[in-house]
Structure 1
């Protein structure tokens, strides 16, 4: 087993990414879509939807159980979970027309430093909105530690580079799909 001391996996934040897109809709209309997590199958490359399992849907403190699907082609060389798996997340910010974000939970329902979210602002030209999708992983999650446990440091570094590229692609793809969903409604 590779040593976890002095490894890229201990870097904080491990991942911190964001992407923006202009959408021809009001911030409130955009919020109405992005805060409806059961609809995420319409735009997410991995989340196939899910259900609210506690709390009021889309409100701070509510918990969403997502069903996810990852193909064999995603960072194909790495020992990732493939096929279907489930996650739970707790809503940490819910301000209509402004922001919506959630924190991933461990299997024991403890917070992880893995936060996904959206920020919405009126477009500078006064027409539509700018939607920002962001992801931040402060400390590596148990899942990341499991993935890299048997990898040497060069392979861990390659994993972080490849996973970052995958996340960048996912953010961009998610935003393009949300734009499509909203503008074609």
Structure 2
């Protein structure tokens, strides 16, 4: 969801699902970013390029693909592209978060996260995304848009991200429960 005042995040979305597996087992899967192609709506997987895999400070290079029909009118990246992200929290059985990096390798205020909590004999898995300030990519997308087009983009992109989180969790639940 796009927010207009300066104290709110630019985008913030959240989805949750109950998984029939314990928090440690769920964490082992969600923190294995090279496997993300098994459940992500855009990330095809990738590889760790720096640091110990899955630990704070480790850098992951993701391979991504976006179809032509995603917010089709806006100048977003389509087809295949790569991203780099840096792990900013790695708490086994509890939380795994990563921040998208800019072209200079700096972590941006754009964080994807999995939060886990015990739920009987399973786990409540929350997937959320928060972008406080516009990233390098978002600034490029909106740079030539007028104000109404910017508002339209923020609204449609926020809906896309919320849908992606929910879809990703459903796919992830299937992967984890199949392995359980």
Band the TM-score falls in, shorter-chain normalisation:
over 0.9
Paired residues of 1:8 and 1:156 also in contact (CA < 8 A): no
User: Could you list the runs of 5+ residues in structure 1 that have no partner in the other structure?
Assistant: 1-6
Count of aligned residue pairs for this structure pair: 177
Say yes or no: does 1:18 pair with 2:2.
no
1:48 corresponds in structure 2 to 44
- How far does the alpha carbon of each residue in 1:14-36 deviate from its partner, in whole angstroms, 9 at most, with x for none? 00111110000000000000000
Q: Which of these residues, 109, 132, 135, is aligned with residue 138 of structure 1? A: 132
TM-score (normalizing by structure 2)? 0.95
Once the two structures are TM-superposed, the CA of residue 107 in structure 1 deviates from its matched residue by 1.0
Distance 1:101 1:110 in 2: 16
- How far does the alpha carbon of each residue in 1:74-128 deviate from its partner, in whole angstroms, 9 at most, with x for none? 11111111111111001000011000000110111011100001000011xx120
User: Could you list the runs of 5+ residues in structure 2 that have no partner in the other structure?
Assistant: none
1:94 corresponds in structure 2 to 90
Q: Which of these residues, 151, 165, 176, is aligned with residue 170 of structure 2? A: 176
Distance 2:105 2:9 in 1: 22
SS, match of residue 130 in structure 1: strand
Distance 1:142 1:34 in 2: 26
Q: After TM superposition, which residue ranges in structure 1, 4 or more long, deviate above 2 angstroms?
A: 7-12
1:81 corresponds in structure 2 to 77
- How far does the alpha carbon of each residue in 1:34-80 deviate from its partner, in whole angstroms, 9 at most, with x for none? 00000000010000100000000000110000011010011111111
Once the two structures are TM-superposed, the CA of residue 9 in structure 1 deviates from its matched residue by 9.6
Once the two structures are TM-superposed, the CA of residue 10 in structure 1 deviates from its matched residue by 6.5
Distance 2:139 2:8 in 1: 14
TM-score (normalizing by structure 1)? 0.93
